[in-house]
Structure formats: C-alpha cells, structure tokens
Structure 1
Amino acid sequence: MTPRTSAQGRSTAIDAATTSVEDYAKTIYGLSEWDGASVTASALARTLGVSNPSVSLMVRKMADLGLVEHRPYAPIALTSAGRELALAMVRRHRLIETWLVRDLGYDWGEVHDEAERLEHAVSETFVDRLDVRLGQPRVDPHGDPIPGPDLQLHYPETLLLCRVQAMAQVRLEQVDDAVPDALSALDAHRVPIGAQVTVQATEGGAVVLTPTGTTAQEAAATSTSAVTSPAAPAPSSIRLAHEVAHAMRVSVIR
C-alpha cells in the first residue's frame, strides 16, 4: 500500500492514521532499527514519555488498524503496512533534519524536535522536492539512513564503538541523537560523521581514540554534519566515557 497524503498533508498508510499513530510507528521502527532489538511497551513508554497504559491503548488501536502484531506481554512488531508507514515518516523526519542543518543553520543537536513538528505538516510533494533539492542524501546529519522514494534504505555493517577492539581503525557511521553527551563530545573534538579514527585503548569501559582523518569523499558525503570543520586541528587523543561510546556506531576499516 502506497502512503497517501491526507487533507492535512500527512503521509498515511490508511485513512485512520493520526499524528500519534505515525509517531508510534516511527518510534517502534527506530527502537529496533540498528540491532533488531525486541520492542516492549515499557521501552515505547520511556522513549515517548508517556505512561504504560497509554502505550497499551495505542498498541491495541494500531493492532486493530493492521499496523502491529502484538500479544499481551510479547514484543511489539510492525506489520508490512506498519513498516511502510514508519519508513514514510522516517524519510520525512530525516530529510527535514538534513535540510534544517544544511540550509537553515541549525545545530545537529537541536533539529530533532523541530523535525518532529514539521514532519506531520508537509505534503508528499514537498518531501520529494526537498529530497531532490538536497541532492537525494542517503544519510541524515547523525548518520542514520534516509529511505529513498521507494522506501528502501541501506545500513552499513557496524559495531558500537564501545565494543571495538584496541588498535582497530574505524569510520564513524552514526551517533544516537538521543544522547546529548555524545553529540557534545563529537562537537568538542570536531569529529564529524565519516571521520576515521583509531581505537587506541579501552580503559575501564572508556574508549581512547586518535583521529586519522576524513577523506574528501567522506567529507562531501557528510557535509550536513554540524561538526564538520576541516580547518580545525585534531586533538592527539580523545577519551570517551562508556555511555558516550555506546551511543556511537562505527564500521571497521582494518
């Protein structure tokens, strides 16, 4: 089923989809996006900042709409229709975040809430034209993949930075924008998405890095990042606390 545009300009898989349904579908997808983790009602409640009973009511509604598969006390999974709705909203959200950073000068730490407000108000035509205007980017400012018009997307093979062995050379692929300390650390050390670093050591859960540069191709591909600053000198080493390194995903180069 192709997502349609409602009278309010929202992308909907079915006529009964509301802003809340769209947000839930997108959040369910996001919670299992990188590692395929099971999504529980309590995890949804924490992420959305709502009560467990509110989640239960919404999940039952979404099940009635054919958007989720759920049994009491079992994980919540999107159906094919639910996944299509979720990816349509992910596409909107990440394209808007990219636009806000690239063209309007927003910091990558402040775009999420703005995109949350805008994603429900624009039409499919706007989203498609924005995609073309931005050069059809495949990742957003935080390194999260952006679905194409066909809602297909690609994830690189990654590891959490905190799980990489010492002396490995890696490329920073993604940072969790829900962890402000991770964004701040990358800002402070001027390390953009796409940067190559060497994991020098792990110390009591912390990770010590040495920047090894960013290629011209990578810099162009990640130019939406608010931390890209080629002229700034790189520090000799960077120490990241475990919870910060846990919020970053990297691909191993060697």
Structure 2
Amino acid sequence: MLLNLSHTEENYIKAIYHLEQDGKPVSTNDLSELLKTAAASVTDMLKKLKQKKMVHYKAYYGCNLTEAGRKGALMIIRRHRLWEYFLSKKLGFSWDEVHDIAEELEHVGSTSLIDKLDAFLGYPRFDPHGDPIPDEKGHIVQQQNKLLSEIPLHLPVEVVQIGDQSAHILELLSDKNIRIGTLLEVRKRFTYDQSLEIKTGSKSITQISKELSQNILVKDHE
C-alpha cells in the first residue's frame, strides 16, 4: 500500500488514529492540541485528507479515519515501532531516546525495507514501551492490561506497557528501576494522596505517585 502522503499528512492520520475512541469523531481542537498546530491549519489539512479519502470530515462535527486512512495509520505506526525496537535493541539507545529518532525514520516509505527490518529483528510483537507492533497486514494485538494504580495489595504483576511515554516519565521510571518486564508488588497505598509503596524484584522498595502509577500498565505474573 503506497500512501502518497506528505510527512505532515502522515503525522495527521497517525494522530487521528491515536485520538479515535470507539469510532467517536475527533475534534479539530483535540488535533490542534496534540499536534501543537493552529485550529485553522488543522481544518485546512482535514479538507486535504478528505480529498485523498483518508478521513471522513464534516465542519463542526470532527473527523474519523476511513478504512484507507486506518490502514495507512497502522502502516506508519508499524514503521515507527519497528524503528524504536531497532534503535533500542540493536543500537543501544535508551527507551527515552528512541521516540524522536523514530519520528523521523517512520516517514521512510519503503515497504520492502520495513518488511526486511521486521524479519531481521525476529518479528517482534512489542516495541520498547510495550506497545504492540502491527504486522505486515496491519493486524495489531489487542491487550487487556491493567493500571498499576488499580492493582490490589500484594498481587505479583509484570510491567508490560507504559502509557505516557514522554522522556521525563521514562527517565523517572528508569531511575526507579521500572522497565518492561519488571516484576512489581504493591505493598502499601497511602490514603492521603493515593501514592504507592511498591516492591521491585526481591528486595527493592520504592514509592511512586498516583500519577505515575496510572501510566504503568501491568498483567498478572504467571
């Protein structure tokens, strides 16, 4: 599938994909805030994407991706997450460094390159932040992860995904030795601010804020 889109247009359909919830229209204000772009510029871009049959758009109603737009967004996300995996696993970049570099590399549109990269990496299913990587057909794993903030006390869990992946959040998690695959146990929940005391590994005890715990997604440890 050749997108024939500019880098900016690719960024838009990827942003719309991330903002879509259960098919509800994405507002121009939400796009403007996410992309840090003036609302008028967003409106102009949505009109262009509508002409290219990437979005359904109606003034004062918002937009949704068309089937072609959704497939295109998943293709871009596939590129991005594979490059993040490559940068982390093969070049040694830390997980708080890979996003910005992958933002540039994701616009390399060669499907054969991405398919060969996928094979070279051993067909990884998840990127360094635990996000699922779409396969070559655009299929993506549906996850049923839970927020650490909602986990009962003394239940062993494994970190499988990070919500807010901004560099300062990832750096903080690294300082607390929390990464994808880390085993955790909530030891105490403080009533005053809902912060948590957690055990990582066999001995290490640390305290994290409610906000941080709401960005750590986990599954029961098997």
1:208 corresponds to = 197
1:37, distance to aligned residue in structure 2 (A)? 7.5
How does the TM-score come out when normalised to structure 1?
0.78
List per-residue Cα deviations over 1:84-143 (Å, max 9, x = no partner).
000000000000011011111111111111111111135111111110110000000000
Is the 1:31–1:37 contact (alpha carbons within 8 Å) kept by the matching residues of 2?
no
Q: Are 1:140 and 2:127 an aligned pair?
A: yes
1:36, distance to aligned residue in structure 2 (A)? 7.6
Equivalent of 2:38 in 51, 54, 61: 51
RMSD value, Cα: 2.3
Is the 1:109–1:177 contact (alpha carbons within 8 Å) kept by the matching residues of 2?
no
1:227-242 alignment runs, 5 A limit: 235=204, 237-242=205-210
1:101-120 alignment runs, 5 A limit: 101-120=88-107
Q: Residues 179 and 244 (structure 1 numbering): CA distance in 2 closer, same or farther, change over 3 Å?
A: farther
1:183 corresponds to = 170
Aligned AA (1:112)? H
List per-residue Cα deviations over 1:40-65 (Å, max 9, x = no partner).
32222222121122112112221222
Q: Residues 172 and 74 (structure 1 numbering): CA distance in 2 closer, same or farther, change over 3 Å?
A: farther
Give ranges in structure 1 of 5+ residues lacking alignment: 5-11, 214-233
SS at structure 2 position matched to 1:193? coil
Is the 2:96–2:166 contact (alpha carbons within 8 Å) kept by the matching residues of 1?
no
1:193 corresponds to = 180
Identity of aligned residues (%): 32
Q: Are 1:127 and 2:95 an aligned pair?
A: no
Is the 1:28–1:77 contact (alpha carbons within 8 Å) kept by the matching residues of 2?
yes
Equivalent of 2:8 in 2, 7, 20: 20
Point out which structure has higher relative CO (alpha carbons under 8 A, 6+ apart): 1
How does the TM-score come out when normalised to structure 2?
0.88
2:214 corresponds to = 246
1:31, distance to aligned residue in structure 2 (A)? 3.0
